[in-house]
Chains A and B, each alone.
Chain A
Amino acid sequence: MARYIAQRLIAMAITLFLIISISFFIIHSMPGSIVDDPMLPEDVKLAIEDKYHLNDPMPIQYGYFLKDFLSFEFGTSIKVQPRVPVFDIIKAKLPVTLQVNIFSLILTIPIGIILGIIAALKKNTMADHIISIMVIFFISVPSFVFAALLQYFIAFKLGWAPIMLSPEATLTWTKFKSMILPILALSFGGIATITRYMRSELCEALNSEYMLLAKTKGLSQVQATVRHAIRNSFIPLANIIIPMFFGILGGAMVIENIFGIPGLGQLSVNSINALDHPLTIATLFFYSLIGLVTILVVDLSYGIIDPRIRIGGRK
């Protein structure tokens, strides 16, 4: 196991390095200059660009970049928040994105699982059909359409919740109230995904032979379902819940945009728009790291959740 994890970590580091290098070249070959004030004299502009080595040839810039990167020095933001270390900016933006998304998950997972169990137990009845229609509807309609509908009807017409996120820094009751709509808009898709998955897994489990065995041994249908079928169908569910859990760190850019949430999604768009290279690379690095860690955790969790699955080459 330890050997397998070590191998995976090395492979991950190589992938991460390649990703960062590719992003470096894409980002630095983008046209435009960070100095966009036309009133600034030419020599000042050159001096600013020189300070960040932007006028050196690409390989030399890459050399500087690698030197900093290997010593985990990501530098400071050039434009979005000048002279602030990039990871401090990310740290500052992270909490609000995390809050919205964790609340959304708290709502999504139990509702999704419960609806999935209902649909599977009442397979091919009215309840199942209604849930299926709901699932296909929630999966298809984009989250930003839900966001617009909620904003117009719930917030504007009925006035039940604020239209925009309240700007308070700490999590207060008013802030939570203004978060309800973005949380809802983010949750619908996730609920539908989990419901759909749970239903198909549980349907399969209910028809399996161990259920028959459990019942012949004298368990009632309810006991057999709760103790065997549902527990077994939770295993594959980990495959989608773990990525969801890490995916929340990426944030939902459009939802953040619509409700004016100053989170990570907005930050990455702003940094690309402003040609703020160190910040862009840092956000990219952050996203890639999360993506790769997710894959690793999912792979490792197979073995932990379900001991029947063995990882690595050896038996």
Chain B
Amino acid sequence: MDEMKNMKLSKEDFEFVQLDHDIKDEKFQGEAIGFFKDAMLRFRKNKASLGAAWVIAIIIFMAIFGPSMNEYTYRQQHVEWALLPPRVKGLEKIGMFDGTKVMEIKKESMEGKYQGAVVKIIDEYDKEYNGVKVPMVKAKINMYKVKGADDVYFWLGTDSIGRDMWTRLWRGSRVSLAIGIFAVLINMIIGVVYGSISGYYGGWVDMIMQRIIEVIGGIPSLVLIILFVMYLGSGIVPFILAMVLTGWIGMSRMIRAQFYKYKGQEYVLASRTMGAKDKTLIFRHILPNAIGPIITQATLAVPGAIFTESFLSYLGLGIGAPEPSIGVLLAEGQKALLEYPHLTLFPAIIISLLMLSFNLFGNGLRDAFDPTLRGQE
């Protein structure tokens, strides 16, 4: 202690560390990563979702440009060329899409009706018919030759009145996608507004709005949609409206839950104390928290809408002829499934691919926006 007291400090003992330059924070290395960029980084790591995004992009591209890739239109009929199998130039030489069909025919008609069209004989046998043995042949037959369409190529074949399936398939995808995407967009808007009001104001407003949802949601939605489509008549717009009837409920419930989660938090209280209006609080402070779940839920709702559309077409409530949709094509194909499976096969592949990729894409988005949910289905 004594030593300390005797210590003397002169002015020369001190020196200024920095007098010439001002103090600054260290500069960030690299650029700032925002919410969406962060999500994109995570999304790119998910190979399945990335692949799904590409499949969706290709199908959307084909839905826009596919119908104009050959010279046929979706409603042009060639009755004499009905129900032709698929045939593609180039691929036909290696035995795929060569316009042939395996048929069981009478041996004598090989010289008559099917002359020159038989590509390969697979099997020969006799069939009892009214006690008489008829020699039969199981053979691969070029249907294009039989129907006198030697130089014609229908890439995916033709339907029962000779319309080109390629054009109809992509036009159908366009219609189905349009119904799915528009229905989901409208649902999203209604759901966000309804859920925000119900969740933000709470109390008796919330009570009444939730009872309304309970009543609407209590009616079996499929029956409601069927009634509505029958009432308005078929078409793209009635379909979209019918799906909006009950489709927004899920979105509004999610938004309401988000509002209940955030509206009591301190930052909202702080903002309110400083005089922020309801509008600012809702749209600027609370709603942006829900942007990730909104996008995810909307993506996952698109396959549901496409499914409903096909479902109704199967029940004979499809959008009016001659406009195709994937559901209409599937329903038409179902009638001739056993004879002409190609009519069902291609729409079935497209709808399965669409549903699969939208689901994978949606799951990828959910994991990217909120990594804590990863692994939960």
Which residue in A18, A26, A200, A257 is a CB contact (below 8 Å) of B231? A26
Asked if B227 is at the interface of the complex by the 8 Å CB criterion, the answer is: yes
- A71 interface contact, C-beta 8 A: no
Number of interface residues of A (CB under 8 A): 46
Report yes or no: A141 in contact with B315, Cβ–Cβ below 8 A. Answer: no
User: In the complex, what residues of B have CB within 8 A of residue A139's CB?
Assistant: 359
| Given A144-B311, A144-B314, A269-B226, also A291-B351 (CB < 8 A) | no
Q: Is B338's CB within 8 Å of the partner chain A?
A: yes
Q: Which of B266-311 contact A (CB under 8 A)?
A: 303, 307, 310-311
Q: How far is the CB of B39 from chain A (nearest CB, A)?
A: 21
Q: Contact check, B226 vs A292: say whether CB atoms are below 8 A apart.
A: no
Contacts of A188-217 to chain B: CB distance below 8 A: 196-197, 199-200, 203
Interface of B, helix, strand, loop or mixed by DSSP:
helix
With a cutoff of 8 Å between Cβ atoms, the chain A residues found around residue B351 in the complex are 142, 145
The answer to whether B227 and A272 have CB atoms under 8 Å apart is yes
Are A15 and B220 neighbours in the complex by a CB distance under 8 Å? no
Interface residue range, chain B? 35 or more
Restricting to A123-168, which residues have a CB under 8 Å from any CB of B?
135-137, 139-142, 144-145, 148-149, 151-152, 156, 163
Is chain A's interface secondary structure helix, strand, loop, or mixed overall?
A: helix
Contacts of B363 in A (CB 8 A): 136
Q: Is the CB of A23 within 8 A of B338?
A: no
Query: Are B227 and A26 closer than 8 Å at their CB atoms?
Result: yes
Complex CA distance for A269 and B230, rounded to whole angstroms: 11
Residues of B within 8 A of A149 (CB): 348
A145 touches which one: B222, B338, B352, B375 (CB < 8 A)?
B352
**Given A30-B230, A145-B352, A148-B344, are A19 and B219 also a contact pair (CB < 8 Å)?**
yes
Q: Given known contacts A15-B214, A151-B337, A288-B220, is B352 in contact with A141 (CB within 8 Å)?
A: yes
Question: In the bound complex, do residue A200 and residue B314 qualify as a contact, i.e. CB atoms below 8 Å apart?
Answer: no
B219 & A136 in contact (Cβ 8 Å cutoff): no
Determine the chain A residues whose CB is within 8 A of the CB of B337 once the complex forms: 148, 151-152, 156
A254 interface hit (Cβ, 8 Å):
yes
**How far in angstroms is the closest Cβ of chain A from B249?**
13
B306-349: CB near A (< 8 Å → 1, else 0) gives 01001100111000000000000010011001100100100010
- Give A147 to B20 CA distance when docked, in angstroms: 82
Of the candidates B215, B334, B359, the one whose C-beta lies within 8 Å of that of A15 is: B215
Within 8 A of A (CB), among B339-369: 341, 344, 348, 351-352, 355-356, 359-360, 363
Interchain nearest-CB distance for B222 vs A (Å): 8
Contact of A140 among B222, B223, B227, B352 (CB under 8 A): B352
Is there a chain B Cβ closer than 8 Å to A268's Cβ?
A: yes
- Whether B338 and A156, one on each chain, are in contact in the complex, defined by CB atoms closer than 8 angstroms, is yes
Do B356 and A140 have beta carbons less than 8 Å apart? Answer: yes
**Chain A residues in 8 Å Cβ range of B344:** 148, 152
Set of chain B residues within 8 Å of A144, measured between Cβ atoms: 310-311, 314, 330, 334
A263: Cβ under 8 A from any B Cβ = no
- B377 at the A/B interface (Cβ < 8 Å)? yes
Q: Which B residues touch A135, using CB under 8 A?
A: 377
Q: How far apart are the CA atoms of A197 and B376 in the complex, in Å?
A: 9
Q: Which residues of A contact B338 (CB under 8 A)?
A: 151-152, 156, 163
Q: Lowest 5 CB-CB distances: which A-B pairs, in order?
A: A140-B356, A140-B355, A287-B220, A196-B377, A141-B352
Ordered by A's residue number, 21 sampled pairs between the chains whose C-beta atoms are within 8 Å are: A16-B218, A18-B215, A26-B231, A30-B231, A31-B231, A140-B356, A141-B352, A142-B352, A144-B310, A148-B348, A152-B338, A152-B344, A156-B337, A163-B338, A257-B314, A272-B230, A288-B218, A288-B220, A291-B218, A291-B220, A292-B218
